[in-house]
Amino acid sequence: MTLVSKTFELYGKTYTLESGELAKQATGATLVKQGDTTALVTVVVSKERKNYDFFPLTVDFNEKLYAAGRIPGGYLKREGRPTEKATLTARMIDRPIRPSFPDGFRNEVQIVATSLVADQVNPIDVICTMGASLSLTLGGVPFEGPLACVRIGRNKETGEFIVNPTYEERENSDLDLELAGTRDFISMVEAGAEEVTEDDMLAAMEFGQEAIGAFCDAQLEFVEEWERVNGPIVAKEYPLDEPVPEVQERIFTHYDEMYAALADADKQSRIAKVEALKEAIKAEFTEEEQLLWEREIPVNLKALEKKAMRTMVVETGERVDGRAANEIRPIMVKGSYLPLVHGSGLFQRGQTQVLSVLSLGMLNEAQRLDTIEPVDGKRYMHQYNFPPFCTGETGRIGSPKRREIGHGNLAERALLPVLPDENEFPYAIRVVSEVMESNGSSSMASTCASCLALMDGGVPIKRPVSGIAMGLIQEEGKTVVLSDIQGIEDFLGDMDFKVTGTERGITALQMDNKATGLTFEILKQALQQAKEGRAFILGKMLEVIPGPASETRPTAPRITSITIPVDNIRDVIGKGGETIRGIQDETGASVDVHEDGTVYVGGVGESVDQAIERIQLIVKVPEVGEEYTGRVVSIKEFGAFVNLLPGKDGLLHISRVAQGRVNKVEDVLNVGDEVKVKVIEVDEKGKISLDRLDKPEAPAHAAGEGRPRRESRDRSERPRRRPGDNGQRTPRRHHE
């Protein structure tokens, strides 16, 4: 195996594909680069077929901090569980790859993408899909490739689309759209946007489809070079689970019964009827037949359910719950659902119910991120929980799964564009969505419930956001776009297309597509139908909560920002943080000092005002003419030092401590005395001179009036003595 490397330029960026040197025992391995950002993507396919009734694919993204020249935090100094970004990157690779494998593929497939270099200029995520596609191709694995993933941005000033923008270019973009698929169709979409119109979003998707085609062509050119150097790629033979006509025929005789079982609006009742029918059909097979066809029977039972559901939609125009294609399920909205918390909202659509809860905190409580990307943290955090009871099942409750992380990220992107700037609303914001019931579109219910919680908590969002999940059925040459899909329409349908936005435009998208016949005309219809559905849902939300509350709840911290001179930051913090800790301990407020001199003070009740007053006293510079009541902190021969403000002392000269001449300061003042003074001078170095107000009379003896004085003698009468004289003169010693 000889190393093959190909460097090419597309849309103003430089890319490199390499294979033949690293990980040569893998089924396929590709080194993929954008600029200096480098990832190794490997594919391994098991030699034996697994006895599963599903496709066993796993995708992992190994985020190595050495790629960015960083050492992991913590005691072990080693990468631990995947970060949220690593999980989202793995999902980005998985979603277009999974539907590209042939039906019945049962060999285990593992794709591992490892970050080797993160140049802090070019993101690493989207190029990994191209690496996975090329690794599958070079390994002779059967799939509908080549595939590629691109990110599309749009310059806010020029409106120009950008393919795979750098981090800097993304800062000036109002669109962050990721698409994956082949040159002929899109299979995955993920997007965040700043209220982009449906027409602009569709134009960006069409542009992205062209870009995907260009990257697919680059892979084909690499394959030609590989085969020229290393010989033809041998396609490996993997046995597929082929349909058994006899099993399919016997199961599909129960089509009418399955059709009738599906026609039930209640999810649990419908599931019970369908499962009971499946068990009855399975019982018609002998034990020997069940053992012989242990994979084929469940696959065909699922195929029967899928066929009946899809035919019902395209033939009658009605869905399993009796709704029309564009009809939204009944909606229930409640605000201020929980007491004491900082904000809450309950949103129910059909049998999907989500309770979102808001928590507000200081900016220093924002999430810190330890990743290979040039991002330190995030102020807004949205988390989504999907406990087993929400579907009437038992199960383990533990760390969030990939699906929960992905759904939480979607709702986070949906609401991020409408959040106020931290200068306007200096809070860290966390929203947790608890799914209480689920029958489809729980991520969109989370978006709606979270918007309610933000408004209930007094977060001044720019505009309210709603979301809807769209579906697609393509059967017997007919196409039906479905609004507000439920679970069965997601699992057995051809598309899951989630759209969120305000009345002005789209804020987030997510799409997984299994239909190769998805055209841009169908997408246009889906976007328009979604816009109408979003508007209907938003209207129901605003009937209950018309807009953000005028202020945060009393239980939420009140956060105020002030600005102090940068030179005074050390005064506020104090030696070893002693001063700032003292302010927090005495007032009960939290104080967060930033390098630019911005100070955020948060707390409940009067604690904020008390802490701000303390800080302002520390940084205040006394001015000439101001009067203070200070405490004497030290006494010198020339005067007394009086503390005016925290860390600010002034000198009260001995000549100004009393009316008349004072011999010693202690005759008038002692350490600890309170004295009223006035600032008479502040020199260039900040030294403060004081004058005492309401001066007392100087003690009589101190003024030279009460103490008797010794009589003076004339100098001529004084005997002239020298040290050690004792009245007799010591003769001088002469040196010979």
Residue for token pair 């869905």 = 319
Residues of the chain with pLDDT > 90: what percent?
71
Helix or strand or coil: residue 147? coil
Q: How much is the average pLDDT of 402-429?
A: 94
Q: How much is the average pLDDT of 141-159?
A: 95
* Whether 615 and 631 share a structural domain: no
Torsion sign across C-alpha atoms 609, 610, 615, 617: positive
User: Distances from the Cα of 255 to the Cαs of 307, 314, 449, in angstroms?
Assistant: 8, 16, 39
Q: Any idea what the CATH number is for the domain that residue 291 is in?
A: 1.10.10
> For residue 4, which amino acid is it?
V
Q: Is the pLDDT of residue 249 over 80?
A: yes
* Whether 582 and 614 share a structural domain: yes
Are 71 and 65 spatial neighbours (Cβ–Cβ below 8 Å)? Answer: yes
Q: How much is the average pLDDT of 215-242?
A: 94
Q: Specify the pLDDT at position 675.
A: 93
Residue 724 belongs to some domain of the structure: no
Residues of the chain with pLDDT > 70: what percent?
95
Q: Which residues have C-beta within 8 Å of that of residue 299, sequence separation ≥ 6?
A: 53, 241
* Whether 584 and 684 share a structural domain: no
Q: Any idea what the CATH number is for the domain that residue 579 is in?
A: 3.30.1370.10
* Whether 641 and 568 share a structural domain: no
How many angstroms separate the CA atoms of 140 and 43, rounded? Answer: 11
Phi/psi zone of residue 639: left (φ > 0), alpha (ψ -120 to 50 degrees), beta? left
* Whether 358 and 490 share a structural domain: yes
How large is the greatest C-alpha to C-alpha distance in the chain, in angstroms?
149
Q: How much is the average pLDDT of 428-443?
A: 95
Residue-averaged pLDDT of the chain? 91
**Domain interval for residue 585:** 558-619
Q: Specify the pLDDT at position 701.
A: 62
Least confident of 52-56, 130-134, 135-139, 429-433: 52-56
Cα 401–chain centre separation:
16
How many angstroms separate the CA atoms of 232 and 211, rounded? Answer: 28
78-83, long-range: CB < 8 A, 24+ apart: 81/399, 83/369, 83/370, 83/371
Are 561 and 600 spatial neighbours (Cβ–Cβ below 8 Å)? Answer: yes
* Whether 18 and 157 share a structural domain: yes
Of the residues 230, 261, 278, the one at which a domain ends: 230
Radius of gyration (Cα) for the chain, nearest Å? 38
Are 364 and 466 spatial neighbours (Cβ–Cβ below 8 Å)? Answer: no
* Whether 190 and 300 share a structural domain: no
pLDDT single digits (tens) 655-692: 999 998 888 999 899 999 999 999 999 888 889 999 99
Least confident of 124-133, 453-462, 715-724: 715-724
Q: How much is the average pLDDT of 507-529?
A: 90
Confidence of residue 288 (pLDDT cuts 50, 70, 90): very high
Residue 723 belongs to some domain of the structure: no
pLDDT single digits (tens) 338-371: 999 999 999 999 999 999 999 999 988 899 888 8
Residue 238 belongs to some domain of the structure: no
Least confident of 4-8, 291-295, 579-583, 672-676: 291-295
How many angstroms separate the CA atoms of 457 and 341, rounded? Answer: 9
Q: How much is the average pLDDT of 612-619?
A: 88
Q: Which residues have C-beta within 8 Å of that of residue 504, sequence separation ≥ 6?
A: 195, 463
Q: Which residues have C-beta within 8 Å of that of residue 16, sequence separation ≥ 6?
A: 5, 6, 7, 8, 31, 32, 33
Q: Which residues have C-beta within 8 Å of that of residue 487, sequence separation ≥ 6?
A: 267, 438, 439, 440
* Whether 104 and 43 share a structural domain: yes
Residue 35 belongs to some domain of the structure: yes
Q: Specify the pLDDT at position 428.
A: 95
Residue 321 belongs to some domain of the structure: no
Residue 502 belongs to some domain of the structure: yes
Of the residues 544, 572, 606, the one at which a domain ends: 544
Please report how the helices 198-230 and 520-544 are oriented relative to each other, as an axis angle in degrees rounded to 10.
140
Half-sphere exposure of 184 (CA within 13 A, CB side): 8
> For residue 237, which amino acid is it?
E
Q: Specify the pLDDT at position 717.
A: 45
* Whether 492 and 356 share a structural domain: yes
Q: How much is the average pLDDT of 130-148?
A: 96
The total number of structural domains that make up the chain: 5
Residue 631 belongs to some domain of the structure: yes
Q: Is the pLDDT of residue 55 over 60?
A: yes
Residue 324 belongs to some domain of the structure: no
* Whether 534 and 592 share a structural domain: no
User: Distances from the Cα of 65 to the Cαs of 72, 73, 117, 573, in angstroms?
Assistant: 7, 10, 9, 33
Residue for token pair 């009086």 = 642
Give the number of other Cβ atoms within 10 Å of residue 649's Cβ: 19
Could you tell me which residues are annotated as the binding site?
490, 496
User: Distances from the Cα of 216 to the Cαs of 107, 151, 176, 180, 447, in angstroms?
Assistant: 25, 15, 21, 11, 35
Q: Specify the pLDDT at position 723.
A: 44
Could you tell me which residues are annotated as the binding site for Mg(2+)?
490, 496
Q: Which residues have C-beta within 8 Å of that of residue 567, sequence separation ≥ 6?
A: none
Q: Any idea what the CATH number is for the domain that residue 135 is in?
A: 3.30.230.70
Give the number of other Cβ atoms within 10 Å of residue 402's Cβ: 14
* Whether 70 and 209 share a structural domain: yes
318-323, long-range: CB < 8 A, 24+ apart: 319/482, 319/486, 319/489, 320/262, 320/263, 320/264, 320/265, 320/270, 320/486, 320/488, 320/489, 321/264, 321/265, 321/350, 321/486, 322/263, 322/265
Q: Any idea what the CATH number is for the domain that residue 689 is in?
A: 2.40.50.140
* Whether 26 and 71 share a structural domain: yes
How many angstroms separate the CA atoms of 505 and 521, rounded? Answer: 19
pTM confidence score: 0.85
Q: Specify the pLDDT at position 62.
A: 96
How many angstroms separate the CA atoms of 319 and 529, rounded? Answer: 17
